[in-house]
């Protein structure tokens, strides 16, 4: 777009902004094709829309949005609550590109009570409103199965798919099936059970699905006592079994407090691109609805904006009429008849913590699933987490870690492993024989290796690492810093992994003086760091063992001129030991390695044994 066109566009848009009212409402941004690309709400339309054009935006997405705006429309409403509802409806209607997008959970199963003459209860994933009453969806499928199993044990309802009507029953078109004979059904289709009793079962099952288990328990207890008073002990025992089943289910479900009734609970967990919101509904002290959903963010929406949108969406979807909403922070303008509670203690606080636990678990599961589908995304995420934790100037694309290995100073070696984009780059691993240090001095050995490593990289102009990790605590970090910063004058961040008394890595150290960086030991980032530490330890130990093994397997054959590895292998394969080779006849040796080498062997071995072989 040319400069003159940009000026004309800005003049046009600012003309609209200057005429906006100072009242609540919703605004809509349109692109050059007239498509709505963003819908927003505002307590003060003029002030809110003006903020988009009055400054340069640091957020890249907001800047892109502003650059695509070609027209502005708005709708005035009476209150900010109306603006919130209107915004939600407009977003669902137009699905604007730069708005948060709710990912629907239609794939989760629900439970349906059909509208038949003899209703059935079963699970389904298809929602057809005219077919029956639906409960759900259930994001935790085992909970749904537990409910269906409970209802099946309490009430012997029909499971067949026959079309049964009052007329077909009157004409005796049905007969008892296997379900009747195994006592899973009382055969209401043949009038062995009355329609009134069957519908009473359906009504009680409906209350259980609604979460009103306490009311059903009270009714059962009353009927049980009435039968017992009439000395009808068999009927009382039958009801008692059902009562205990229901009580057992209620104890397994999330009972918070019998005083809490008809309450909605929401909690939110955020990351860079997605917000996760958990919704719980509590009836009679039991959680009867639990659902976690996610919003794909388009701009830099705040937690308050995201949670407000989520509350409106979920309450509309589940037709919630709860008068109290529990949230982690104050959310305004949900409606005058709704009480917003931010609990600090007690049962309501426990509910909020339970909601937080659910949303964190959902977030973890989604990230794990995403990492499996896109491993590179996981690597970038881990690098960003490490950069954020250590406040590094750049992403740690290349990480190097050092470790020493020796036994009382003998066969002293060191290893350096390189991780690129959080993956081991084995072609860049390096082994070092300690040359200048005598005895078991880990600090001096570390300095020698680091000095040799980065002096050579500077000479070869190889890319330097973004982070150095030492397999040790503050002492190792300091000796590395002395070489890197004081001697070589390089600026490379240095971290250390410290172990506890049980020789298990439990701390990440960074800075001078070193400070402990708070990381959960079960986090993906901490597992990456311990993987780096284990890898450098394995690499150095393997190199040390190989070097030590060469000394241990050396024999008298190695010092004999003209006897190379191939000849040595032939001799040991034939006689298995130097002693047996010495005892062998020269003719036998000549048959394997030739006369010249056989003669040299007999002479050298005779010299070492202190005898002269003529």
CATH code, 518: 3.30.420.340
Choose between 108 and 209: higher pLDDT: 209
198 shares its domain with 328:
no
Q: How would you classify the pairing of strands 324-326 and 263-270? A: parallel
407 shares its domain with 503:
yes
The answer to whether the beta carbons of residues 400 and 423 sit under 8 Å apart is no
| Structural domain containing residue 44 | 3-99
307 shares its domain with 166:
no
Residue 14 counted as domain residue? yes
Q: What pLDDT shows up at residue 614?
A: 37
411 shares its domain with 537:
yes
Read off the pLDDT of each residue in 11-18 and give the average, rounded to a whole number. 88
Residue 104 counted as domain residue? no
Final residue in a domain of this structure, among 337, 370, 403:
370
350 shares its domain with 487:
no
Length of the chain: 614
Residue 258 counted as domain residue? no
Most confident of 99-113, 133-147, 200-214, 530-544: 530-544
355 shares its domain with 420:
no
Read off the pLDDT of each residue in 527-534 and give the average, rounded to a whole number. 90
Omega before 513 within 30 of 0, i.e. cis:
yes
Quickly count: other Cβ atoms within 10 Å of residue 13's Cβ.
19
CA nearest to 137, candidates 348, 328, 309, 281: 281
The rounded percent of the chain whose pLDDT value lies above 90 is 30
Tell me what the pLDDT averaged over the chain comes to: 84
- Per the confidence metrics, is the pTM higher than 0.75? no
Q: 612 pLDDT band (50/70/90 cuts)?
A: very low
Residue 227 counted as domain residue? no
The rounded percent of the chain whose pLDDT value lies above 70 is 89
Q: What pLDDT shows up at residue 139?
A: 57
Number of compact structural domains in the chain:
5
Read off the pLDDT of each residue in 399-412 and give the average, rounded to a whole number. 80
Q: What pLDDT shows up at residue 104?
A: 46
The answer to whether the beta carbons of residues 303 and 363 sit under 8 Å apart is no
List, in sequence order, every residue forming a beta bridge with 29; answer none if it has no partner: 38, 72
Q: What pLDDT shows up at residue 613?
A: 41
Final residue in a domain of this structure, among 211, 232, 253:
211
576 shares its domain with 603:
yes
Read off the pLDDT of each residue in 308-328 and give the average, rounded to a whole number. 88
Q: Does 610 have pLDDT greater than 70?
A: no
pLDDT in tens, 225-269: 888 888 888 888 888 888 887 777 665 554 456 567 889 999 999
Tell me how far apart the alpha carbons of residues 559 and 548 are, in angstroms, rounded to a whole number. 18
Distances (CA, A) of 63 to 1, 96, 98, 443: 16, 16, 12, 52
Residue 250 counted as domain residue? no
Q: Please, which residues have CB within 8 angstroms of residue 129's CB and are 6 or more apart in sequence?
A: none
């Amino acid at each position: 777009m040319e400069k003159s066109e940009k000026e004309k566009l800005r003049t046009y848009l600012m003309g609209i902004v200057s005429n906006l009212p100072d009242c609540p409402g919703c605004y809509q941004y349109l692109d050059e094709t007239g498509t709505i690309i963003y819908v927003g709400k505002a307590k003060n339309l003029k002030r809110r829309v003006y903020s988009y054009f009055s400054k340069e935006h640091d957020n890249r997405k907001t800047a892109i949005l502003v650059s695509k705006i070609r027209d502005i429309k708005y709708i005035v409403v009476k209150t900010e609550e109306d603006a919130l509802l209107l915004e939600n409806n407009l977003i669902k209607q137009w699905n604007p590109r730069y708005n948060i997008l709710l990912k629907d959970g239609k794939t989760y199963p629900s439970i349906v009570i059909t509208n038949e003459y003899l209703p059935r209860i079963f699970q389904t994933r298809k929602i057809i409103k005219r077919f029956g009453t639906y409960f759900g969806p259930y994001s935790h499928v085992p909970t749904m199965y537990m409910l269906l199993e409970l209802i099946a044990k309490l009430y012997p309802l029909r499971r067949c798919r026959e079309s049964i009507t009052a007329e077909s029953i009157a004409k005796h078109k049905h007969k008892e099936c296997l379900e009747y004979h195994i006592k899973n059904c009382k055969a209401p289709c043949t009038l062995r059970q009355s329609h009134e009793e069957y519908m009473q079962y359906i009504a009680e099952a409906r209350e259980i699905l609604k979460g009103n288990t306490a009311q059903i328990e009270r009714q059962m207890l009353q009927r049980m006592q009435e039968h017992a008073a009439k000395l009808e002990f068999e009927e009382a025992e039958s009801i008692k079994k059902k009562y205990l089943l229901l009580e057992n289910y209620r104890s397994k479900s999330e009972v918070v407090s019998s005083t809490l009734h008809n309450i909605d609970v929401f909690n939110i967990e955020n990351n860079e691109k997605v917000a996760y919101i958990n919704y719980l509904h509590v009836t009679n002290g039991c959680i009867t609805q639990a659902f976690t959903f996610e919003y794909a963010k388009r701009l830099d929406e705040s937690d308050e904006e995201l949670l407000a949108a989520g509350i409106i969406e979920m309450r509309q979807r589940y037709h919630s009429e709860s008068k109290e909403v529990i949230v982690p922070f104050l959310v305004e303008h949900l409606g005058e008849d709704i009480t917003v509670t931010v609990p600090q203690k007690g049962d309501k606080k426990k509910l909020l913590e339970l909601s937080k636990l659910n949303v964190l678990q959902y977030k973890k599961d989604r990230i794990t699933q995403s990492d499996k589908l896109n491993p590179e995304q996981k690597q970038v995420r881990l690098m960003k987490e490490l950069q954020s934790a250590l406040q590094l100037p750049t992403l740690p694309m290349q990480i190097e870690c050092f470790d020493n290995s020796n036994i009382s100073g003998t066969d002293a070696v060191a290893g350096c492993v390189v991780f690129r984009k959080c993956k081991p780059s084995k072609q860049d691993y390096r082994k070092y024989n300690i040359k200048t240090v005598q005895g078991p001095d880990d600090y001096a050995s570390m300095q020698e290796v680091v000095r040799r490593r980065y002096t050579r990289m500077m000479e070869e102009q190889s890319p330097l690492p973004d982070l150095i990790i030492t397999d040790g605590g503050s002492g190792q970090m300091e000796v590395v810093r002395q070489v890197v910063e004081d001697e070589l004058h390089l600026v490379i961040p240095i971290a250390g992994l410290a172990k506890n008394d049980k020789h298990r890595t439990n701390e990440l150290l960074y800075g001078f003086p070193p400070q402990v960086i708070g990381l959960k030991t079960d986090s993906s980032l901490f597992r990456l760091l311990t993987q780096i530490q284990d890898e450098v330890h394995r690499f150095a130990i393997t190199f040390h063992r190989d070097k030590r093994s060469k000394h241990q397997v050396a024999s008298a054959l190695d010092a004999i001129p003209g006897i190379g590895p191939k000849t040595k292998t032939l001799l040991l394969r034939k006689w298995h030991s130097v002693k047996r080779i010495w005892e062998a006849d020269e003719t036998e040796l000549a048959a394997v390695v030739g006369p010249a080498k056989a003669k040299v062997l007999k002479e050298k071995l005779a010299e070492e044994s202190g005898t002269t072989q003529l």
